[in-house]
């Protein structure tokens, strides 16, 4: 037997679905977007800083930061008398990788992504590709070289007139630091970059957070007049989509280790969403107003 609270929630949900679609769907979209934003970025106070730094990637570089002196000594010792770019690049990469252990931003900062300063990297003692790139670019500037940041949305690396380092991405530079701030490049390759970034992100992001997003999608898409069978089918398809996307395997290069799983997962997700939102049989799925 349903409790009064459950009944009231069900009645409210039914009333929402008697509203016009042009009202109902924007409301659902806003609710779902808010849930996703809070899951990806629960520390919302970091978001303004993150956005500001994205507008000028090089603003986080700090070549004069004292802790870089130790890294510079290590690099110069490894380079010795060999002043070739190849040797310098290898020495910088090796030094940064050794001194800055890798950790995802949700483990370090509690959010999906964050662009730290050099001081913040050393304060945390660990970082992912963007933090390591920030340190490497700052170190090169300290040593008298030009260096800036670039990203293909999946990975961030360092760009110099002599060449690129910190494992340059395979796609076009979607965001690249320029003299007047970050330059965005929009092209068909940008869509490919976004797809690779999403596939990788789903593969490595905490499963618990992704489960919350999947449940939220199921809930906002669910029509109260749907049969129990369709509700279960939609749930199974969305769950299967998440499972296949996770099983596709994050890859440093390409879409995923198993690209077919990515496409199958995307198809299952769309199918699950349609099962929940498309009403079959005309008015048979429309909730009956209470008398």
State the pLDDT confidence band at 19, using cuts at 50, 70 and 90: confident
State the pLDDT confidence band at 23, using cuts at 50, 70 and 90: confident
Number of domains in the chain: 2
Q: Which of 167, 185, 203 is the last residue of a domain?
A: 185
Residue 231 has pLDDT above 50, yes or no: yes
Burial class (CB in 10 A: 0-12, 13-18, 19+), 40: middle
Average pLDDT over residues 131-148: 97
Do 80 and 112 fall within a single domain? yes
Residue 1 has pLDDT above 60, yes or no: no
State the pLDDT confidence band at 110, using cuts at 50, 70 and 90: very high
State the pLDDT confidence band at 227, using cuts at 50, 70 and 90: confident
Residue 7 has pLDDT above 80, yes or no: no
Residue 82 has pLDDT above 90, yes or no: no
- pLDDT for the residue numbered 8: 75
Read off the DSSP letter of residue 102.
B
Do 229 and 251 fall within a single domain? yes
Do 108 and 209 fall within a single domain? no
In a domain, 237, yes or no: yes
Q: How far apart are CA 18 and CA 156, in angstroms?
A: 47
State the pLDDT confidence band at 2, using cuts at 50, 70 and 90: low
Residue 281 has pLDDT above 60, yes or no: no
Residue 249 has pLDDT above 70, yes or no: yes
In a domain, 51, yes or no: yes
Average pLDDT over residues 30-49: 96
SS3 state of residue 156: strand
Residue 286 has pLDDT above 60, yes or no: no
State the pLDDT confidence band at 278, using cuts at 50, 70 and 90: confident
Do 166 and 278 fall within a single domain? no
Do 167 and 263 fall within a single domain? no
Average pLDDT over residues 133-150: 97
- pLDDT for the residue numbered 30: 94
Do 236 and 143 fall within a single domain? no
Average pLDDT over residues 93-108: 97
Residue 229: alpha-carbon gap to chain centroid: 33
State the pLDDT confidence band at 79, using cuts at 50, 70 and 90: very high
Do 201 and 238 fall within a single domain? yes
Do 213 and 166 fall within a single domain? no
In a domain, 260, yes or no: yes
Mean per-residue pLDDT of the chain: 90
Average pLDDT over residues 8-21: 79
Whether the Cβ atoms of residue 56 and residue 177 lie closer than 8 Å to each other: yes
- pLDDT for the residue numbered 204: 94
Residue 142: alpha-carbon gap to chain centroid: 31
- CB-based contacts of 132: which residues, under 8 Å, 6+ apart? 96, 97, 100, 102, 121, 166
Residue 6 has pLDDT above 60, yes or no: no
Do 254 and 275 fall within a single domain? yes
Average pLDDT over residues 57-82: 95
Do 181 and 207 fall within a single domain? no
In a domain, 137, yes or no: yes
Nearest alpha-carbon partner for 243 in 221, 258, 219, 261:
261
Do 50 and 163 fall within a single domain? yes
Average pLDDT over residues 107-126: 97
CA-to-CA dists, residue 237 to 28, 199, 203, 211, 231, angstroms: 20, 18, 18, 13, 10
Q: How many CA atoms lie within 13 A of 177 on its CB side?
A: 21
Nearest alpha-carbon partner for 58 in 166, 179, 231:
179
State the pLDDT confidence band at 282, using cuts at 50, 70 and 90: very low
In a domain, 30, yes or no: no
Range of the domain at 50: 44-185
Whether the Cβ atoms of residue 245 and residue 202 lie closer than 8 Å to each other: yes
Look up the CATH number of the domain holding residue 127: 3.10.620
In a domain, 136, yes or no: yes
Q: Which of 185, 217, 232 is the last residue of a domain?
A: 185
Residue 98, token pair as written in the block: 């050794």
Do 106 and 144 fall within a single domain? yes
Q: Which of 159, 185, 211 is the last residue of a domain?
A: 185
Q: How far apart are CA 213 and CA 222, in angstroms?
A: 14
- pLDDT for the residue numbered 3: 56
In a domain, 110, yes or no: yes
In a domain, 89, yes or no: yes
């Amino acid at each position: 037997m349903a409790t009064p609270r459950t009944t009231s929630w069900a009645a409210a949900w039914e009333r929402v679905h008697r509203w016009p679609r042009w009202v109902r769907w924007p409301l659902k979209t806003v609710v779902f977007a808010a849930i996703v934003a809070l899951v990806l970025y629960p520390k919302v106070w970091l978001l303004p800083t993150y956005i500001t730094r994205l507008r000028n990637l090089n603003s986080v570089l700090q070549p004069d930061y004292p802790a870089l002196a130790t890294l510079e000594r290590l690099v110069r010792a490894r380079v010795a008398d060999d002043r070739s770019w190849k040797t310098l690049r290898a020495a910088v990469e090796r030094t940064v990788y050794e001194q800055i252990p890798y950790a995802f931003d949700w483990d370090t900062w509690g959010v999906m992504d964050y662009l730290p300063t050099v001081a913040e990297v050393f304060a945390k003692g660990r970082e992912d590709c963007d933090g390591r790139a920030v340190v490497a670019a700052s170190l090169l500037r300290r040593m008298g070289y030009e260096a800036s940041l670039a990203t293909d949305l999946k990975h961030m690396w360092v760009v110099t007139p002599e060449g690129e380092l910190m494992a340059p991405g395979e796609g076009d530079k979607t965001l690249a630091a320029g003299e007047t701030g970050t330059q965005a490049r929009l092209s068909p390759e940008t869509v490919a970059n976004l797809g690779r970034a999403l596939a990788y992100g789903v593969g490595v992001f905490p499963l618990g957070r992704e489960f919350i997003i999947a449940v939220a999608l199921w809930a906002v898409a669910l029509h109260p007049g749907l049969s129990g069978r369709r509700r279960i089918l939609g749930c199974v398809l969305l769950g299967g989509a998440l499972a296949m996307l996770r099983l596709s395997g994050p890859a440093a290069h390409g879409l995923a280790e198993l690209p077919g799983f990515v496409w199958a997962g995307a198809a299952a997700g769309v199918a699950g969403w349609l099962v929940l939102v498309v009403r079959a049989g005309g008015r048979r799925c429309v909730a009956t107003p209470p008398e």
